[in-house]
Amino acid sequence: MDLWLLLGLVPALGLGAAGRYWWARRPPSRPAPSAAAPVAGAVPNPALSAVRAVLEALPDACIVVDATGRVVVRNAAAGELTAAAEGKPLASSLRIPGVLQAIERVVDGNPAEETEFVLPAPVERTIEAHIAPLAIGGGPMAMAFLYDTTLVTRVERMRADFVANASHELRTPLTSLSGFIETIRGPAKDDKEAQERFLEIMQEQAARMRRLIDDLLSLSRIELNEHVRPSGKADLVAIARDVVDAAQPMLGRAKVKVHIEAEPGAGPVLGERDELVQVVQNLLDNAVKYGGDGGDVMIRIGEASETTTACAIIDKGPGIAREHLPRLTERFYRVDAKTSRERGGTGLGLAIVKHILNRHRGRLEIESEPGKGSRFTIHLPTWIAAAP
Ligand code: ADP
């Protein structure tokens, strides 16, 4: 391949994962290479076949446009992303003035450009376009890389939302603590009775902050390990008994009785005991917190399929409306934030459950009906003893 052709292809060849990063971050100041003189009589342009072969090998959408705005080459990925057709004006399939104008400027000899736009149909996607001059003979052209950043944008938004939510959750008890400190040092300086009351509330708020920090740390630890599948043996029946024993003070206060029912032989699963304790604990906590004072809670353990064991935590509480069910495992998602906070919730319990189950290659099933109660079932791979 000629040197000039290789140079013309540099922007394309540089766009692997690392190249894309470089491309996205470089200042768009590279001067446009002077367009090579049209190759007289060179129809079809042999360089274009080489460009086409390279572009077809690239995973990202790429479109080459000439000075008349016509699509000269487009790879299969571009065909999936847009309706761009070779030989037709790009404007007839991609009606995004910002991109079309940027291409025009680059074809006119201006430096490479980057622009972002939204493709509204069939599903809304955010696309980052990198447009560079292409000098391969046959007149000035521009090569547009279309990089789908929908997922990256969504993850970025989720991260920002998470930080905002976590800060908000921590700031509320902190504000209350600072307020009470000021009151105790000021207006309530000599009021022993009020001080006692305020100190009690301050203790509750501090406990709330500690629970939140514990849950946040738990979540980040579990996420770090999520790709490592546990290989140990854990017994769900023993775990359920231990969790219920440890919860006796809370169960006593809430006047809730927990019954454990287990199928003979069911219980051993492939998993890490401490994490599964946390799963059962969080689900039992919720069943007691939301399941209505004085109600009974049932924990049922049994075989769910040839290879899986299920553990269901069932309450007879107020239940959850259907529209909330798919969102319950999102961080900080609550059906009723006020009730959750009043009952000591952090909004992270089910998110922790979901991540632990992901790590175990298990899953959480939620069934609930308003007025009838809820059933949270965990499904885990059954422990199969290795053959001797
Ligand atoms: P929280 O700390 O608020 O309990 P979770 O992630 O454990 O957070 O639960 C998310 C939300 O799901 C709760 O705020 C509550 O609205 C709802 N929820 C969870 N379990 C139950 C249940 N057994 N009955 C009714 N609502 C529940």
Report the C-alpha gap between 384 and 121 in whole angstroms: 48
Q: Looking at the predicted structure, is the pLDDT value of residue 30 above 90?
A: no
Report the C-alpha gap between 130 and 132 in whole angstroms: 7
Mean pLDDT of the chain: 87
* Residues 345 and 334: beta-carbon distance below 8 Å: yes
> How many other CB atoms are found less than 10 A from the CB of residue 243?
23
Please provide the CATH number assigned to the domain covering 149-228.
1.10.287.130
The DSSP H or E segment spanning 258 is strand 257-262
- Which residues surround ligand 1 with Cβ inside 6 Å? 282, 286-287, 290-291, 315, 317, 320, 328, 334-336, 340, 345-351, 374
Per residue in 142-168, pLDDT (tens digit) is 999 999 999 998 899 889 999 999 999
pLDDT at 47: 84
Give me the residue spans of the domains in the chain.
3-29+42-148, 149-228, 230-388
Q: Which atom of ligand 1 is nearest to the CA of 348?
A: 6
Please provide the CATH number assigned to the domain covering 230-388.
3.30.565.10
pLDDT band at 271 (very low <50, low <70, confident <90, very high): very high
pLDDT at 10: 42
CA of 215 to the centre of ligand 1 (A): 14
| Secondary structure of residue 253 in the 3-state scheme | helix
pLDDT band at 49 (very low <50, low <70, confident <90, very high): confident
pLDDT at 33: 35
Per residue in 312-322, pLDDT (tens digit) is 999 999 999 99
pLDDT at 294: 65
* Phi and psi angles of residue 249, each rounded to the nearest 5 degrees, phi first: -60, -45
Contacts 24+ apart (CB under 8 A), 169-174: 169/212, 169/332, 169/346, 169/347, 170/209, 170/212, 170/213, 173/205, 173/206, 173/208, 173/209, 174/205, 174/209
CATH topology of domain 3-29+42-148: Beta-Lactamase (3.30.450)
> How many other CB atoms are found less than 10 A from the CB of residue 379?
21
pLDDT at 230: 93
Q: Give how far the C-alpha of residue 183 lies from the chain's centroid of Cα atoms, to the nearest Å.
A: 42
* Residues 365 and 343: beta-carbon distance below 8 Å: no
| Secondary structure of residue 323 in the 3-state scheme | helix
For the chain, percent of residues with pLDDT exceeding 90: 74
Strands 125-134 and 233-235: unpaired
pLDDT band at 41 (very low <50, low <70, confident <90, very high): very low
CA of 352 to the centre of ligand 1 (A): 12
Per residue in 324-378, pLDDT (tens digit) is 999 999 999 999 988 998 888 999 999 999 999 999 999 999 999 999 999 999 9
